[in-house]
Amino acid sequence: MTLDIARLLIFPALMAFAAVSDFLTMTISNRISLLLIVGFIVLAALGGMSLQAITMHVVAALVVLTFGFTFFAMGWIGGGDAKLAAAAALWFGFEHVTMYLIYSALVGGLLTLLLLQFRQWPLPASLISQEWAQRLHDRKSGVPYGIALAIGALLIYPETEWMKAIDLSRFAG
């Protein structure tokens, strides 16, 4: 039961926290990515994931990290985004990483368009004193892509073995 609760909560909660953090501060703490890695290791071990499967998940994460840091070097995404995408890819492995990246890119494109439109309008008076709103409204600031990465991850997570392994009948009243 505890393992099922951990599968239900750890990954989604950390991804949601990353999205909120990026929205409010335009940064994603390294701690979030590290907690995702530790959570994966603990749940993979407790859940009986084979060493071969763990290795393939790690390789998937390293591939995403390589591309992520290439995009970071080109100035397309932030370093926190690259690390968060790789940490999420660790949970997905090759089986789900492609759809995760596609969903994240689609959500990221929509988020970018909405943010560009938002920046065309005057900032509402009720938000002028809010630092997070000023940061989002600033045309020179970037896009909090952690939001797109989190939404993409949360769209894919229900399809993963992590969720399929949960015995939902335990939670039924």
Predicted TM-score (pTM) of this structure: 0.91
Q: Calculate mean pLDDT across residues 123-144.
A: 91
C-alpha radius of gyration, the chain, whole number:
17
**Which is nearest to 32 in space by CA: 71, 76, 69, 82?**
82
Distance, C-alpha 52 to centroid of its chain: 24
Both tokens of 143, joined, read 């896009």
pLDDT band at 166 (very low <50, low <70, confident <90, very high): confident
Domain count, the chain: 1
When pLDDT is cut at 50, 70 and 90, the band that residue 91 belongs to is very high
Q: Which DSSP category does 134 fall into?
A: H
Cβ atoms 129, 5 nearer than 8 A: no
Band (pLDDT 50/70/90 cuts) for residue 170 is low
Q: Report DSSP state, residue 142.
A: -
Our measurement of the distance from residue 63's CA atom to the centroid of its chain's CA atoms, rounded to an integer in Å, reads 16
Residue 73 has pLDDT above 70, yes or no: yes
Tokens found for residue 15:
């991804």
d(CA 141, CA 26): 9
Which residues have CB under 8 Å from 136's CB, separation 6+? 23, 26, 115, 118, 144
Tens digits of per-residue pLDDT, 135-165? 999 988 899 999 999 999 999 999 999 888 8
Domain of residue 90: give its range.
Answer: 2-171
Q: Are 72 and 108 in contact (CB under 8 A)?
A: no
pLDDT in tens, 28-60: 999 999 999 999 999 999 999 999 999 999 999
